[in-house]
Amino acid sequence: MDHFYWFLIAGLVLVYLILQFDKQQRHKANTLKKQTNDVQPLLLMQSLGRKLNRLNEALTMAKTGGHIEDQLKKITADYNCGRIDMQTYNNRLNELLQKAEAK
């Protein structure tokens, strides 16, 4: 009978430690989730950089992209000021890139 109580107490202590560890990990995960909630998506940022490079290359080769260049400046200024979000900026860059590569 002595062994039964010893294992019972050891089991309860083990369950308590596991629950404490779980609580600690959930707290860390929630904190990390809150910290990374406002971080811009990395792959979308890389995609935007590539699109801007391709647009600049297309504009320097075409030399007739005055209207497209003005639109690019306006869209970039709107994004930098926070008037449009990243997804809208990405969509507008896609449209400009298609126009620039079609010429």
- Per-residue model confidence as pLDDT tens digits over 20-39: 999 999 999 999 888 877 66
The pTM is what? Answer: 0.59
**Geometric angle at alpha carbon 13, from 12 and 18, rounded to 5°:** 95
| Helix 66-81 / helix 42-62 crossing angle, nearest 10 deg | 150
Residue 68's pLDDT is 84
Confidence of residue 40 (pLDDT cuts 50, 70, 90): low
In the numeric block, the tokens 């089991």 are attached to 11
Following CA atoms 18, 22, 23, 26 in sequence, which dihedral angle do they give, to the nearest 10 degrees? 180
Domain extents in the chain: 1-33, 42-102
